[in-house]
Amino acid sequence: MSERAEPRRAAQRVVVTSPRTHSARTHRPYAAIPVMDEQSELGALYMRSLIKAQRRLGLLVCAVVCGGLALLPLLFTLAPSLGGQRVLGLHLPWVLLGVLVFPVVVLAGWFYVRQAERGEREFADLVERP
C-alpha cells in the first residue's frame, strides 16, 4: 500500500470516511476454491442453501423473541388483572419488561451465534471436501 511505502509522509492527514470498496470489488475472493467460483452451478447451489439456512435461523430467533414480546401488550390489555400481579414485590409488567427481558435477549443472541457458526462450519466442511 502506498501509505506504507512512504512513512515520511505520515504527518499528512488523510480523512477516512469510507472503505476502499473499489479495490474490494475488483477482487474475487473465493476463486481459489473451484466450487465457490461464481461460474460454478454447484457453488451457487451451495451458497443459496447456506443463505437460506442462515435466513431461516435469523428469522426464527427474531420471531420467537419479538413475537413473544409482541404478545405482552395484548395480554395486558385483554387481562388487565395481569398487570396488577406481583412477583417478588414488583408488578408483573415491571419484572418482565424491566428485568427478565434482558437475560432472555442475551440468551437468544447466544443461541443464534452458536447455531450460525455451526452452520458456517458445516458449510465450510462441505465445500472444502476434496
Partner 1 sequence: MSNTWGVAAVLVVALGTVLIGTYGLRVSRTTSDFYVASRTVSPWWNASAIGGEYLSAASFVGVAGLIFARGPDMLWFPVGYTVGYLVLLTMVAAPLRRSGAYTLPDFAEARFASRSVRAVASMIALGIGWLYLLPQFQGAGLTLHTVTGAPTWVGALVVAVVVTANVMAGGMRSITFVQAFQYWLKLTAIAVPAAFLLLAWKAHGTVDLTGPQLPVFHEQTTVTFENTTTVTAEREVVVSGSGVVDGQRHDGPGLMMTQGGHTIEAGSRLDFPAGAAVPHVSTIASNTNASWALPMSSGERFPLYAVYSLMIATFLGTMGLPHVIVRFYTNPNGRAARRTTLIVLGLLGVFYLLPPLYGALGRIYTPELLMTGNTDAVVLVLPSRMIDGLGGQLLGALVAGGAFAAFLSTSSGLMVSLAGVLSQDVLRLGGVRGFRMSTVLAVLVPLGMTLLVSGMPVADMVGLAFAVAASSLCPLLLLGIWSTRITTAGAVAGMIAGGGPALLAGLVTILADTGDSWYHVLLARPAAWTVPLGFAVMYVVSLLTPRRRPAGTNQVMVRLHAPENLGLESSEDRA
Residues 1-40 contacting partner 1, CB under 8 A: 1, 3-4, 7, 9-10, 13-21, 23-25, 27-30, 32-33, 36, 38
d(CA 91, CA 85): 6
Q: Give the nearest distance from C-beta 38 to partner 1 in angstroms.
A: 5
Kindly give, in sequence order, each residue whose CB lies less than 8 Å from that of residue 32, ignoring residues fewer than 6 positions away.
none
Q: Taking CB under 8 A as the rule, does residue 129 contact partner 1?
A: no
- Terminal alpha carbon distance of the chain: 35
Residue 71 makes contact with partner 1 by CB under 8 A: no
Q: Cα 109–83–106 angle (5° rounding)? A: 10
Shortest spacing between CB 22 and partner 1, in angstroms = 10
Please tell me whether residue 109 binds partner 1 under the rule CB under 8 A.
Answer: yes
